[in-house]
Structure 1
Amino acid sequence: MQIKGNYVVGDAQAVATLYETGGFGRPRDGSLQLRFVEAAYLLSRGKIAILKNGKELDFDEFIQFAALAEDFFELKYIVYKDLKERGYYVQSSATDFRVYPRGGKPGKGSAKSYVFVRSERVPIPLSELLGLINEAQNVRKQFILAVVDEESDITFYDVKRSDAVGSFEGGMSAPYPAEAKKEKPVKAVLFKERVILSDKETADLLYNRAFFGRKMDDERLLLSLPESLYLAENGVLELYEMDGKRLSNEDFSKKASLIDSEFSKKYTIYKELKEKGFVPKTGFKFGTHFRVYRKVESLDKIPHSEFLLNAISTDYEFHLPATSGAIRLANSVHKRMIYAADFGGKREYVEFERIKM
């Protein structure tokens, strides 16, 4: 077989022996085109010989040539070889590989998954990841991210757009008890980092019926910054500074952003989750912005949260060692790991799940 451009090309006999029986390469104009990873795999098993300018290349010579011609060739080869040895039919594609379900192969059924290969050292911008997910979803394929680490071990992640507030709803019938909204909003005061609500009746309603805040004592409720703004926007609270100065919602938001530089992006997601019936609470103990409950019926028996969520900016880059740690922690406590970004009013939710191939 000869190297021609970005392919290793064989004749019609190669179509019969490699494509029709093993699903390798793609037939074109009576010949067979193999991508470099496919050719390297077949060469390593003595199934083909590869010529370059009339000279036959051994395996080391060929993979060095391929690595110079194709970015991250060695990583793609590691993943390709792993998938083949697990018994999958694998074809090269725009997203590195198409993988067929067990028992399927090219010409007999469609691929199930797209696999994209990445080094643990190379961050993935959110925009790039969404583009890859879109490409897979447009043809109804599962998108799998294969991350190759320092020691050439592979971790596979099922990555998908998770419309956490659209594909399923939260279970709370209302984001706050109707009785908490009185004829005149109740006064609450912003301290250094907390808002304190001293009206016992409203504090009890918000805490006991909708899991807002945390009780400071029998009469007072400590509220987070997102909770406070949300309740103020809905006319439940009226916010003040400690000196008695009334705070507009806009002024409060500005002050909250000085206290917490991530407040704005966190609040956008918090608000949407609340309005869809979820109960978002801080995810600090899990190293995330929020832990999110579908429904809290009673504080005597608080259920496990459904998922962990980080609010991210539209120019966010996934640094894979940190992302891996977050996913592993979420999976270890039986939760989903979701990242959410606000694209000018349109929210994108991306979910990662570690899987075994």
Structure 2
Amino acid sequence: MQPTGHLRGDAVRVAGDARQRFHDSRGYGRPLEGNEISLSRVEAAHLLFRGDLAGVSLAPDADPVGFERFFVESAAAADRFAVRYLVYADLRDRGFYLSPAREPWPGGTADVADAVDFVAYERGSTPDTGDVKYPVQVVGERESLPAAGLVGRTLAVVDEESDITYFAATGGAIEGATEYEPPERLDGVLLSDRVVVWDAPEGLYERGFYGQPLTGRAAAVEGAIQLSLVEAASLAADGVLSLSASIGAAGDGHVGERAAGDGHVGEEPTTDGPAAAVVARGRDVEGERFDRRLAVYRRLRAADAVPKTGFKFGADFRTYLEVETVEDLPHSEHLVRVVDADHRFSPRELSLDVRLAGGVRKEMVFALTAMTGGEGGSLENADVKWLSIGRLTP
């Protein structure tokens, strides 16, 4: 005969041989005195669904109810009960022992964030051993999800048809091995949304993969490279790029000469040098996002990775870790999307990005970027945290 549980507060108590039957052998609940255990609502519902509990009494001296009544009552009483139950049952069916991680249900000895709903243990281990495999955060399809703090978590997204998609969130720092140093000086012309270097050395594009050649089948001009504004701003900040006559968005020409001592490597652009001119143009055409994208671009270049536009993939950048020559260019390894440090994902947005990256055999990395002193603040001291998210099959 199966035992009966009794709801007390937000927990279900089960007496008799419950400790041996449920906790010791299958990792349900947590022990109380003697052989009694305390179950979370999700655990009790799962045991009811399996027929391992005969019923649960919702009040003292009340007749026990079955799974259907208990499920409906719990969905009304407990936050996000339905989606958490679906994930719990799915992981149990996959062979994992789990512990609820929300207070007052700490998951074993695991130190997990408050947003984590369950901890799933390594197969073959129990809550007593505490070998956590997945700290699981349950997310409904229509919820929003803060990007900050996701590293180390397993996201279980439940869609409107109760299907579950799992994602692994890890630290996604990008380190490259591209060996190229730009020339000491380049001269360019600032146009409305790009910079043209007319006499660029061959290695700038062929080995450094900066810009795009301005060529055609019957080109009479050789050595001309078009730089994006973010590429040009980075080179100018490093003291490499100076500007001659520049053409504004409205067609007005002016001269931005290279200032003596301006823009040495590691320094902030001065307010009137070539770097400041390019950054100002970038803000004109792109708005506040330009500063964050430039900060991330410079971090990637400093890590010897080569960032190029990710427009075709709906991202800010695609990255190449090791470029020797453009003629022998490898596949890019990452898609990088630059977001605010306090960005909140929608699960649909997240799923779209990760699915697209996986479809083109790349890793999806988000650069959570906060500018020191706000937008327009320090580029070199910008706070960039890397977040890599990929599909997971537990």
TM over 0.5: yes
- How big is each residue's C-alpha offset from its partner over 1:89-117, in whole Å with a ceiling of 9 and x where there is no partner? 11111311111122222224522111111
What do you get for the CA RMSD once the two structures are aligned? 1.6
- What's the CA shift for 1:186? 3.0
Amino acid at match of 2:173: D
Q: Provide the rounded CA distance (Å) in 1 between the counterparts of 2:279 and 2:345.
A: 28
Alignment correspondent of 1:229: 233
Q: Provide the rounded CA distance (Å) in 1 between the counterparts of 2:87 and 2:147.
A: 23
Gaps of 5+ in 1: 138-142
Q: Provide the rounded CA distance (Å) in 1 between the counterparts of 2:133 and 2:338.
A: 30
Q: Provide the rounded CA distance (Å) in 1 between the counterparts of 2:225 and 2:239.
A: 17
- Secondary structure of 2:226's counterpart equals strand
Alignment correspondent of 2:73: 65
Q: Tell me if 1:323 matches 2:350.
A: yes
Q: Tell me if 1:171 matches 2:177.
A: yes
- What's the CA shift for 1:65? 1.4
Q: For the Cα contact (< 8 Å) 1:67–1:73, is it kept in 2?
A: yes
Alignment correspondent of 1:51: 57
Q: Provide the rounded CA distance (Å) in 1 between the counterparts of 2:318 and 2:346.
A: 21
Q: For the Cα contact (< 8 Å) 2:179–2:324, is it kept in 1?
A: no
Q: Tell me if 1:239 matches 2:243.
A: yes
Q: Tell me if 1:85 matches 2:55.
A: no
Amino acid at match of 1:340: A
Q: Provide the rounded CA distance (Å) in 2 between the counterparts of 1:258 and 1:250.
A: 12
Deviates more, 1:8-17 or 1:225-234: 8-17
Amino acid at match of 1:313: D
Amino acid at match of 1:99: A
Q: Provide the rounded CA distance (Å) in 2 between the counterparts of 1:354 and 1:348.
A: 20
Q: For the Cα contact (< 8 Å) 1:269–1:340, is it kept in 2?
A: yes
Q: Provide the rounded CA distance (Å) in 2 between the counterparts of 1:15 and 1:239.
A: 77
- How big is each residue's C-alpha offset from its partner over 1:279-311, in whole Å with a ceiling of 9 and x where there is no partner? 000001111000011011111111011111001
- What's the CA shift for 1:239? 2.5
Q: Tell me if 1:157 matches 2:139.
A: no
Q: Provide the rounded CA distance (Å) in 1 between the counterparts of 2:231 and 2:79.
A: 47
Q: Provide the rounded CA distance (Å) in 1 between the counterparts of 2:97 and 2:226.
A: 57
Q: For the Cα contact (< 8 Å) 1:125–1:317, is it kept in 2?
A: yes
Alignment correspondent of 1:303: 330
Q: Tell me if 1:257 matches 2:283.
A: yes
Alignment correspondent of 1:140: none
TM-score, normalization by structure 2: 0.81
- Secondary structure of 2:332's counterpart equals coil
Q: For the Cα contact (< 8 Å) 1:101–1:112, is it kept in 2?
A: yes
Alignment correspondent of 1:211: 209
Alignment correspondent of 1:124: 145
Alignment correspondent of 2:125: 104
- What's the CA shift for 1:271? 0.3
Amino acid at match of 2:347: L
Q: Tell me if 1:40 matches 2:39.
A: no
Q: Provide the rounded CA distance (Å) in 2 between the counterparts of 1:280 and 1:298.
A: 15
TM-score, normalization by structure 1: 0.89
Q: Number of aligned pairs?
A: 334
- Secondary structure of 2:336's counterpart equals strand
- What's the CA shift for 1:187? 2.1
- Secondary structure of 2:95's counterpart equals coil
Q: Provide the rounded CA distance (Å) in 2 between the counterparts of 1:195 and 1:15.
A: 72
Q: Provide the rounded CA distance (Å) in 2 between the counterparts of 1:307 and 1:197.
A: 28
Alignment correspondent of 1:198: 198
Q: Provide the rounded CA distance (Å) in 2 between the counterparts of 1:257 and 1:37.
A: 51
- What's the CA shift for 1:253? 0.9
Q: For the Cα contact (< 8 Å) 2:119–2:134, is it kept in 1?
A: yes
Q: Provide the rounded CA distance (Å) in 2 between the counterparts of 1:219 and 1:45.
A: 72
Gaps of 5+ in 2: 103-115, 216-221, 248-252, 257-271, 373-381
Q: Provide the rounded CA distance (Å) in 2 between the counterparts of 1:58 and 1:239.
A: 77
Deviates more, 1:186-195 or 1:225-234: 186-195
Q: For the Cα contact (< 8 Å) 1:337–1:353, is it kept in 2?
A: yes
**Greater share of helix residues, 1 or 2?**
1
Q: For the Cα contact (< 8 Å) 2:176–2:303, is it kept in 1?
A: yes
- What's the CA shift for 1:320? 1.2
Q: Provide the rounded CA distance (Å) in 1 between the counterparts of 2:26 and 2:67.
A: 20
Q: Provide the rounded CA distance (Å) in 2 between the counterparts of 1:271 and 1:348.
A: 14
Q: For the Cα contact (< 8 Å) 1:37–1:77, is it kept in 2?
A: yes
Alignment correspondent of 1:144: 154
Q: For the Cα contact (< 8 Å) 1:12–1:32, is it kept in 2?
A: no
- Identity percentage over the alignment? 34
User: Rg larger in 1 or in 2?
Assistant: 2
Q: Provide the rounded CA distance (Å) in 1 between the counterparts of 2:119 and 2:146.
A: 22
- What's the CA shift for 1:70? 1.4
Alignment correspondent of 1:347: 384
Runs of 4+ displaced beyond 4 Å: none
Deviates more, 1:336-345 or 1:274-283: 336-345
- What's the CA shift for 1:66? 0.9
- How big is each residue's C-alpha offset from its partner over 1:74-95, in whole Å with a ceiling of 9 and x where there is no partner? 1111111111111111111131
- What's the CA shift for 1:12? 5.5
Q: Provide the rounded CA distance (Å) in 2 between the counterparts of 1:290 and 1:3.
A: 53
- How big is each residue's C-alpha offset from its partner over 1:226-245, in whole Å with a ceiling of 9 and x where there is no partner? 11011111122113422242
- What's the CA shift for 1:355? 1.2
